[in-house]
Structure 1
Amino acid sequence: MKKLVIASAVLLAGCSQLPHFGADQPTTLSAPTKPATPAIPLPAEVEDVNEVANSATTEALATDFEHIFIDSDMTFEGVLPCADCPGITYHINLYRDGRFEARQEYLERGQVELVSGAWLLERRTLHLVNQQVNLPSFHFRSNRQLVMTDLSGRPIISSDAYQLNRLDALKKLDTRQPMLGLYRLQNNQATFTKCQTGESLPVANTQNHLPMMRLYQQDSRFNNKAVIASLVGRKGPDQHGTDTLFIDKFEQFWPNATCPNQFAMKNLQGIVWRAEKIADRYVPHSLNVRLIFEKDKLYGFSGCNNFNASYQQRANTFAVQQLASTRKFCADASTIEQQFTEKLQQADRAEVNADKLQLFRNNQVIMELIPAVN
């Protein structure tokens, strides 16, 4: 019995974790130590087959998340709808320094507008800011596609006709434009003053300029005088950085014409008129259907051939005599040319209304012409 009691006491003393304190120290119990939690092995990392390794290429591309970043130079192109023409061709360059350049070309009219300014990006909405020209805003549907927004700022996704697509590489903006202005040659140095803006530029002596120079020198009427000319050209810096006109295509001179003044146009003479509409159909600007009225004669270009004729205008009557024309055939212009020459000879009244010349037949407008400023 004594052995059993002693053995129990020894066992209890060995299991006790109570520390021994002196009489002047408080007695404190420590919390029992928790056993260590065994480590749970983590599964091996699974490789994401969709993950793209970081590189200079991926860093340069815009992200496709909530925000779009223009951190590389981009070019977008496409054709957007137009209210009164087949469409407007857009070429937009976005530069990562905050600038943009845009080219708008109205199809069939051939009207070209070059605009530059600064872009603003609000999440996915792109605003092109220019003080003189209002441009549409766009929504980044992805980093490869712009979609035009409506008046409320919402992307128009009901039709693919409102989208511009990004090219694989930046494309230089085509700055060529049809121009009409005063050309003058002195000492083999030519200048050209645009009728549309009044800007005067020296003309580069390039191969495309030589035919124009020769024709000017051979015509005794010019003799170092300024004469209206129509051409296709572009403005750019020369080797010294000076703004210069580079001629891509010379069209013709228009003696006795002046730059049109829309606030002082009352008579049809002395203005280079461009055919804008025949009946209700727009005339493609690229055909350059134009004419000028002098005192009792008219002449011009009908899209393929040069022509001239006599005409009479008295009070409210107008009549064009039989046209004399060259006889070239141009497949892309023959239909328009035939319609133009027929309507011109059918007209019985001509009126300058605001900035348009209207030709009538039995009180119905059969042709509308506008001053050619480009």
Structure 2
Amino acid sequence: MASERVTVTVADPEGDREVDLSSPNRAVWPDAEGGPITKAELAEYVQLVAGPFLNANGNRPVSLQRFRDGIGGEEFFSKNPPKGTPDYVDAVTVTYNSGRRHPQIVLNRPSAIVWAVQMNTVVFHPWSSLATDTDNPVELRIDLDPQPGTDFADAVVAAHGLREVLREAGLEPFIKTSGNRGLHVFCPIEPEHEFLDVRHAVIAAGRELERRMPDQVTTNWWKEERGKRIFVDFNQANRDRTMAGAYSPRALPNATVATPLLWDELDDVDPAAFTVRSIPQRLADIGDPWAEIQSAPGRIDTLLEWWERDLGNGLGEMPFPPEFPKMPGEPPRVQPSKKVAANWDEEGNRVEE
């Protein structure tokens, strides 16, 4: 039996475009408050938020987190355009950490977002660089990740402290909910530095925040060392490491959304209130808090000076994610509690027996 299919008319800048939507009544979020949210409702949502969504996530390489049968089903990531991708979905060739180069999806118009929904995408993960220059980020991104024993309120306190640090470094931070328990802080920057430099700038900001709030914030990569503190996830600044984009839904039971905020509303927000069903009205009421995010990009020179200062004071490179090649100056990739000093050299490489 053929699956149910409808045709959605999408308003693109070039004119209306028809996009087929199969299984429109499939429940993407079966347990959402107010009843299941279907694939058709998700397609309607992405059209309603397409303007601010593309302002934040368009013209960038993007990874699509896809679910075959709603958020409870099998999930997988798509980076490369699949066979049969329509011509209104763009792509750009990017270089991954392995050195491999391959085309990656780019979303530049509302119909492309609806196509991604047709491909069962729930979460959109954009790069911090543009398709016009994929090697140099236009944003410094910091993920404030609550650890066990902490919560969103603790992340709010850390975010205010981080805002002060970043402003002292000459940057203007913007903030959004993660769609889950944490907060994401973005600073628009001039695309003059590659990913490793931007990562070092994030580490410098995180270390400065940690010095000021040692009981509330940590930059420790290993979970056993973090304690009940907010983790500054510096590795989200790496090439091909992404977080849910602004206005992207999350694969959580009530269809929460990663939502840009005004700093003045941060102390009183309930992140669970921002959902696929509530965000269109929020945009109608207050507009997009990130509408001007790229209007005045800053520079990371001061943060890189702090990085060099910390190097001079004996603070070296931080661990990279496990899928990365071993990086210069990186400490051993082993939990501190399991490290046997005699098995590692001064460069952090394992000594072969």
Flag whether TM exceeds 0.5 (same fold): no
Give the greater-gyration-radius structure (CA). 1
Q: TM-score, normalised by structure 1?
A: 0.23
Q: TM-score, normalised by structure 2?
A: 0.24
Task: Answer 1 or 2: which has greater strand percent.
Answer: 1
Q: Using CA pairs under 8 Å that are at least 6 residues apart, name the structure with larger relative contact order, 1 or 2.
A: 2
